[in-house]
């Protein structure tokens, strides 16, 4: 067919690496790295995703057009996230009006003042 | 492939071209899926950056052991799915059926563990709604976290259930010997879908279960 067969041995290697990375991501979560914890967790998840896409999903052995299709999904996701977050983080938020019935006294307490 | 295969649709020159079209088709679908889950992840990112403390505290109420086991189970199911595609490529019918059934079993175990987790949340009043109670300073924000938790893992579970339904159809077709070393595109395409659902969980696990653990 259009792509050469990936050997079961390679599948197993990818599977084992995914399990090791799962162990690493759980262990790292218990170490206090400050804001870097999220960065590390997302980096590991990204590496796992890359392994799954390249080997389990055969993209490494697929046509160039498949590469483009697989790539643009994540490109558009990056656009969605980047523009949403740049908007969210750069607005001058107004304090919530009083009368928010379910809010406790700590309403938005953890949001820094603009 | 000189003579026409019975699975070859008339608009394609040969099975190879048909398989390439099928691969591109499922990837086009997966792009919409990336953006569908991407919307949920973006919403999560917005509210987690707004309420980092509340999200970390709420995350402590998720069972890291059950979530971790489910991660291993799901990665295992991706492995058996990859082996199923390999068996189909090699024209091994019995191995194909065995690996498809193994994938379904692991998928069912994942959903079973998810049911246990969900029932714990109902018992602990952590399901968003009128009975939601949260022992901490950030109850409304924690409720938001659990809304994301149920929406994201719920949609993920729906995808798993659909995947199981497709897999059971594949088992039936493999049983009737419909696949061969030159025609196995449905197995390949289902594999791509299944691996995508695995990828969603690869992100859900650290983002929901593992925040603020130190």
- pLDDT per residue, tens digit, chain A (114 aa), is 444 568 999 999 999 999 999 999 999 999 999 889 999 999 999 999 999 999 999 999 999 999 999 999 999 999 999 999 999 888 887 766 665 555 444 444 455 544
Q: What residues in B contact A90, CB-CB < 8 Å?
A: none
* Contact assignment for B210 to A25 by CB distance below 8 Å: yes
Q: Tell me phi and psi for residue B8, to 5 degrees.
A: -80, 120
- The pLDDT value given to residue B214: 74
Q: Is A11 in Cβ contact with B86 (below 8 Å)?
A: yes
User: How many residues in total does chain B contain?
Assistant: 214
What radius of gyration, in Å, describes the C-alpha atoms of chain B? Answer: 20
Confirm whether B11 is domain-assigned: no
User: What pTM did the predictor assign?
Assistant: 0.90
Among B34, B41, B86, the residue with its CB nearest the CB of A6 is B86
Nearest CA in chain B to A100: B140
CA distances for B49 relative to B44, B94, B131, B141, angstroms: 8, 50, 26, 12
Q: What is the reported pLDDT for A52?
A: 97
pLDDT value of position B157: 98
Show the tokens assigned to A95: 């304090």
Q: Which residues of A touch B184 (CB under 8 A)?
A: 1
Contacts of B208 in chain A (CB under 8 A): none
Would you state the pLDDT for residue B112? Answer: 98
ipTM of the shown complex: 0.92
What value does the mean pLDDT take over residues B138-156?
Answer: 95
Enter the tokens of residue A14: 């990818």
CA-based nearest distance A46→chain B, Å: 8
- Residue B44's domain spans which residues? 16-209
Q: Which residue of A has its CA nearest to B40?
A: A81
What residues of chain A, 44 to 73, have a C-beta less than 8 Å from chain B?
A: 44-45, 48-49, 52-53, 55-58, 62-63, 65-66, 69-70, 72-73
Instruction: Please check whether residue A102 lies inside any domain of the structure.
Output: no
Distance from CA of B84 to the nearest CA of A (A): 10
Establish if B92 belongs to a structural domain.
yes
Residue A7 structure tokens: 């050997």
Scanning A1-20 for CB atoms below 8 A from B yields: 1-2, 5-6, 8, 11-12, 14-15, 18-19
Task: Tell me A112's DSSP state.
Answer: P
Q: Is the pLDDT of residue B1 over 50?
A: no
Instruction: Give the sign of the dihedral formed by CA A46, CA A50, CA A53, CA A59.
Output: positive
- Identify the residue whose tokens are 């107004």: A94
Q: pLDDT tens-digit profile of B168-184?
A: 999 999 999 999 999 99
Contacts of B209 (CB under 8 A, 6+ apart): B59, B62, B63, B64, B67, B68
Tokens of B81: 């799915």
Q: What angle do CA B120, B122, B123 make, to 5 degrees?
A: 65
Mean pLDDT calculated for residue range B117-136: 93
Cβ-based neighbours of B52, under 8 Å, separated by 6 or more: A110, B212
Report percent pLDDT > 70 for chain B.
Answer: 99
| H-helix segments, chain B | 15-50, 52-59, 64-89, 93-123, 139-175, 185-204
Are A53 and B199 spatial neighbours (Cβ–Cβ below 8 Å)?
yes
pLDDT of residue B3: 58
Residue B177 — left, alpha, or beta (φ > 0 → left; ψ -120 to 50 → alpha)?
left
Best B25, B30, B34, B58 residue to mutate vs chain A (most A CBs within 10 Å): B34
Taking only Cα atoms into account, the Rg of chain A, rounded to an integer number of angstroms, comes to: 21
For chain B, percent of residues with pLDDT exceeding 90:
89
Tell whether A80 is within 8 A of chain B (Cβ): yes
- C-alpha B199/C-alpha A53 separation (Å) is 9
Total of domains in chain A:
1
> Are B68 and A26 an interchain contact pair (Cβ–Cβ within 8 Å)?
yes
* Rounded distance between C-alpha atoms, residue A88 and residue A82, angstroms: 10
CA A94 – CA B175 distance, rounded (Å): 63
* Domain membership flag for residue A103: no
Length, in residues, of chain A:
114
Q: What CATH number has the domain bearing residue B30?
A: 1.20.120.80
Residues of A in contact with B16 (CB under 8 A): 1-2
pLDDT on residue A6:
87
Is residue B5 within 8 Å of residue B182, measured between CB atoms?
yes
Does A1 reside within a domain? no
CA-nearest residue to A113 within chain B is B50
State the Cα–Cα distance between residues B89 and A31, nearest whole angstrom.
44
Flag whether A58 is in a domain.
yes
B41 CB neighbours in chain A (<8 A) are: 77, 81
A106/B57 Cα distance (integer angstroms): 14
Containing domain of residue A75, as a range?
Answer: 8-89
Q: Is residue B9 part of a domain?
A: no
Average pLDDT over residues B54-65: 94
Give me the phi and psi of B210, to 5 degrees please.
-105, 15
As a whole number of angstroms, the distance between CA B143 and CA B137 comes to: 12
Whether B79 sits inside 8 A of A108 (CB atoms) is: no
Confidence of residue B156 (pLDDT cuts 50, 70, 90): very high
Q: Is position A112 within any domain? A: no
pLDDT at B88 over 80: yes
State the residue for tokens 């489910």: B70
Question: What is the torsion angle, in degrees rounded to the nearest 10, for the CA atoms of residue A11, residue B169, residue B3 and residue B17?
Answer: -60
**CA dist., res. B77 & res. B82, Å (int):** 9
């Amino acid at each position: 067919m259009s792509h050469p067969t990936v050997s079961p041995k390679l599948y197993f290697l990818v599977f084992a690496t995914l399990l090791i990375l799962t162990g690493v991501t759980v262990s790292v979560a218990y170490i206090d790295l400050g804001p870097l914890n999220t960065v590390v967790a997302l980096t590991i998840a990204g590496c796992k995703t890359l392994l799954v896409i390249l080997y389990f999903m055969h993209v490494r052995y697929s046509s160039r057009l498949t590469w483009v299709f697989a790539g643009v999904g994540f490109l558009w996701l990056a656009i969605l996230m980047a523009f949403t977050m740049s908007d969210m983080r750069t607005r001058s938020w107004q304090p919530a009006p009083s009368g928010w019935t379910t809010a406790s006294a700590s309403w938005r307490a953890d949001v820094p003042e603009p | 492939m000189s003579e026409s295969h019975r699975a070859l649709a008339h608009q394609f020159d040969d099975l190879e071209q048909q398989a390439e079209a099928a691969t591109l088709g499922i990837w086009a679908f997966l792009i919409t899926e990336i953006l569908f889950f991407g919307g949920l992840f973006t919403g999560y990112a917005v509210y987690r950056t707004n309420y980092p403390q509340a999200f970390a505290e709420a995350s402590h109420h998720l069972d890291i052991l059950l979530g971790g086991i489910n991660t291993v189970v799901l990665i295992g199911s991706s492995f058996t799915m990859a082996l199923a595609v390999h068996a189909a490529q090699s024209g091994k019918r019995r191995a194909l059926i065995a690996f498809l059934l193994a994938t379904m079993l692991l998928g069912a175990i994942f959903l079973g563990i998810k049911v246990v987790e969900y029932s714990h949340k109902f018992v602990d009043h952590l399901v968003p709604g009128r009975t939601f109670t949260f022992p901490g300073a950030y109850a409304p924000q924690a409720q938001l976290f659990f809304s994301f938790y149920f929406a994201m893992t719920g949609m993920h579970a729906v995808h798993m259930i659909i995947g199981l339904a497709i897999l059971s159809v594949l088992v039936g077709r493999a049983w009737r010997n419909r696949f061969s070393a030159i025609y196995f595109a449905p197995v390949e395409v289902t594999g791509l879908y299944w691996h995508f659902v695995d990828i969603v969980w690869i992100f859900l696990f650290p983002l929901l279960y593992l925040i603020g653990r130190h």
